[in-house]
Structures are given as C-alpha cells and as structure tokens.
Amino acid sequence: MATSNATQGLHSPGALVKKATNWFIAVAVLFILLGIFAIAEPFAAGLGVTLLVGWLLVFGAVAHFFAAFKGHGAKHVILQVVVGIVYLIGGLYFLTHPIMGVSTLTLLLSGVILAEGVLEVVAYFRRKSMHGASWMLINGIVTLLLGGLIWFHWPSSSVWAIGTLVGVNLLMTGISRLMLGMVARKLASGGV
C-alpha cells in the first residue's frame, strides 16, 4: 500500500513562496495590462463595467429570491422578493441598455465622488488641529473638483469617466501588487 506525504512535491518553503509570488506577479501584470487598456479605451471599459454590474445585480436578485423562502415569516419573504425584483429590473436594464447604463453609472459615480469630497472637507474642519490635516482638505477639494467635472459634463463624461477611473485603479493596483510580489520574491530568495 502506497502512502502519500502531504509535503510531497514541495522541495522547500522557498520553492512554494517562489511559485506563489510568480502567480502574484502574473496577476499584477494582468491588472496593469487591463488598466492600460481601460485608460486607452475608456468607453469600452465603461461598457464592460456596466455589463459586470448588470450581471452582479441579476445574480443578487437570484440570491434574494432564494433567501426569501428560507422561512422567516411573511414580512421577510415580501421584503426579499421586492429587493430581488428591484435588483432584477436594475440588472436587466444594465444588460439590455448598456450605453444608458454607462450614463446612469456615471451620474451615480459623480454623486458618490461629490459626497466623498464634502465628507473630506467636513472631516478636515473637525480635525484641522491635527498635524497633516491639511491633506484631508486638499483631498476633499480635489475630490469635489473631480466630482463636479464629471457632474457638470454629464452625459458626455460618460464616455471617459467610468473607464478611466477603473483603468487608473487597475493600473495602480497592478503596480502595487507587482512591487509587493517582487519584494516577497526577493525576501524568499534571501535578499534584503
């Protein structure tokens, strides 16, 4: 009878870390490439985000319909079914009208960014005596300007806003993960 060892195939912990960092770095490079594509083609990226949101809403609707019949009383069933219907309508809207969906998401995004900017400015005034609090004010002002730029140029901002912001986020996430992966690989190989 053959016995198998749980560590069979692992020559050393360093080999495992190197293999893990290779995957980490590969995913980081993929994020960087997707970010560059999204920045180069922001409207296509915005359509992609809209379709993703549409599918997530449809899957959320299905989850709410299943949750409705877990047996927590009539109030629970009605609430879950109503939320599921709203999710389904929103998801189908984004899937069947993706261009209008990009515009809707852009308007929603501008409102969220404006609200974030207001909250940052309020946070500054509450903490202005703290060292470095002026950065909160600068962040709030820049955020308000960005939100205002998207809001006042809507619906034409729908062409670039979602895709560009998602692209920048993917690019920065990819770069930061790439740097972390390189450092982890260097530490695993004994470097400092």
Tens of pLDDT, residues 73-96 = 778 888 889 999 999 999 999 999
Question: Among all chains, which residue has been given the structure tokens 């901002």?
Answer: 157
The CB density around residue 114, as the number of other CB atoms within 10 Å, is 18
Domain extents in the chain: 15-185
Structure token digits, residue 147? 């939100």
Tell me what the mean pLDDT of segment 166-190 comes to: 80
CA dist 5 and 12 (Å) reads 14
- The pLDDT value given to residue 55: 96
Query: What separation in angstroms does the CA of 118 have from each of 21, 131, 153?
Result: 40, 20, 19
Query: Is the pLDDT confidence value at 46 over 80?
Result: yes
- The pLDDT value given to residue 11: 59
Q: Per residue in 119-143, pLDDT tens?
A: 988 988 888 787 777 888 888 888 8
Structure token digits, residue 137? 């004010």
| 3-class DSSP string for 103-167 | HHHHHHHHHHHHHHHHHHHHHHHHCCCCCCCHHHHHHHHHHHHHHHHHHHCCCHHHHCHHHHHHH
% the chain with pLDDT above 90: 23
Structure token digits, residue 164? 């560009």
CA dist 164 and 53 (Å) reads 17
- Strands (E) across 19-94 are located at none
Tell me what the mean pLDDT of segment 52-79 comes to: 87
Structure token digits, residue 141? 């002002």
